[in-house]
Amino acid sequence: MSENHEKDQVISSPCIRHCSLDDDDVCVGCYRTINEIMEWQKSTQSKKLDILAHCLMRKKKHDAQYS
């Protein structure tokens, strides 16, 4: 196993090509903020995992509000 685990794991963008921002500047397709979207490509793998965790929390909150 490599010493640099950051390079071992490829984390794909959560973008589903349903890009539209809500009133809080959160994408209704992937649940990333506009800042997270803009920073995705230069983010470390660790930061990408953090972003994905926040997306999941936002999606759960959204689903709870509208179900």
Q: What span, in angstroms and rounded, lies between the C-alpha atoms of 15 and 9?
A: 18
User: The tokens of 23 are what?
Assistant: 């009133």
Higher pLDDT pick, 8 / 65: 65
Phi, psi (degrees; rounded to nearest 5) at 21: -95, 140
Using pLDDT thresholds of 50, 70 and 90, give the confidence band for residue 2.
very low
| Whole-Å CA distances, 60 to 6, 7, 10, 54 | 28, 30, 25, 10
User: The tokens of 22 are what?
Assistant: 């809500």
Using pLDDT thresholds of 50, 70 and 90, give the confidence band for residue 1.
very low
Residues 4-56: tens digit of each pLDDT: 555 667 899 999 999 999 999 999 999 999 999 999 999 999 999 999 999 99
What is this structure's pTM?
Answer: 0.83
Task: Give 5's contacts (C-beta < 8 A, 6+ positions apart).
Answer: 45
pLDDT at residue number 9: 77
